[in-house]
Structure 1
């Protein structure tokens, strides 16, 4: 049988043993355990409220709570960070990538950009 000749590559090196840090550090597993316990408590309470025939109300109120907790207040904004809503920025300055009414009108009417 004919075997294909493998060219000897002098630059190739055997794979090194690279130390990979563990995926679950002590801090991460603690956070995960707390989150898991919160979800478990929510599910138990959901089951209780379903038995009391208030399951839908509990679920909807939970959604409102998660929306409230998930939003940041203006005091939590970092120094120099702009809001996505230009009316909350100094001088009503829009963030990069915002579609303005002038840009939309220019693109729909196929007008050239200003300054060109």
Structure 2
């Protein structure tokens, strides 16, 4: 259960990071509300997951899901240019996280 919560929390990290960028310095209400709700839920889920998963492993998985999700969303929506090198580097991050899960 902790791993499921951690993955969802990582997805929420990508959501709050994207919403933060769209909030225009918290001047836009909708994205600012999404940011606030998502960050509280994301941090709460991370804290819950850390009760069963070692801190280092949980944190790196959470950050990796958030980072890969944020960049992938930005590339998919045209907010950031796509490149094969970026895609390979993102795949490398995913591979490293899977490796951490395997050895922990």
Using structure 1 for the length normalisation, give the TM-score: 0.36
Higher RCO (C-alpha under 8 Å, 6+ residues apart): 2
More helix by share: 2
